[in-house]
Amino acid sequence: MSDSVRRRTARVVAVNERDEVLLLRGCDPARPARHYWFTVGGGVEPGESLRAAAVRELREETGVEIAPSVLSEQFHTGQHESSFDGVHYVNDAAFFTVRLPAAVHLSLDGLEDGEVGNVFEARWVSLAELEHLPLSNDQLVDICAMAVERVTAD
């Protein structure tokens, strides 16, 4: 594998009225048989704020449009590593949360070219169910629990 690419990412953990979190199911094209669940989000573009990137990623990956002011303040920052299509990433991630209705219309129609065919599903997942799913990283259960706690406290 080539050298690591370090990047800033903005991630959104949406929470519905049943305290379920919105996750995506996909795969790494280099390992298409291994599906896993992950949060909405991605790289911050040059000149883009973390908040603007989070709003853009939510729209692209789920079809949900929100105003930047609806997002929480960052509730978690962390570094995690990932691989996608043979590239190793070191992600400096900022996590935001937002309360959305469970009935919100979800669509994968805005996926970027590299995501089409590698992101298969967006759906609401309970924290209990989350513990039994293959996840993108071992911190995801705790991060999602923090998001639920943050939204409930607001």
pLDDT single digits (tens) 27-75 = 877 787 889 899 999 899 999 999 999 999 999 999 999 999 999 999 9
What pTM value is reported for the model?
A: 0.90
Structure confidence at residue 145 (pLDDT): 98
Give the distance from CA 145 to its chain's centroid.
Answer: 14
Of 115, 92, 69, 135, the residue nearest 144 (C-alpha): 135
Where does 5-147 sit in CATH, by number?
Answer: 3.90.79.10
CA–CA separation, 39 vs 135, rounded Å?
9
The residues spanned by each domain of the chain are 5-147
Structure confidence at residue 126 (pLDDT): 98
Mean pLDDT for the chain? Answer: 90
Give the distance from CA 22 to its chain's centroid.
Answer: 8
Q: Check whether 115 has a pLDDT greater than 50.
A: yes
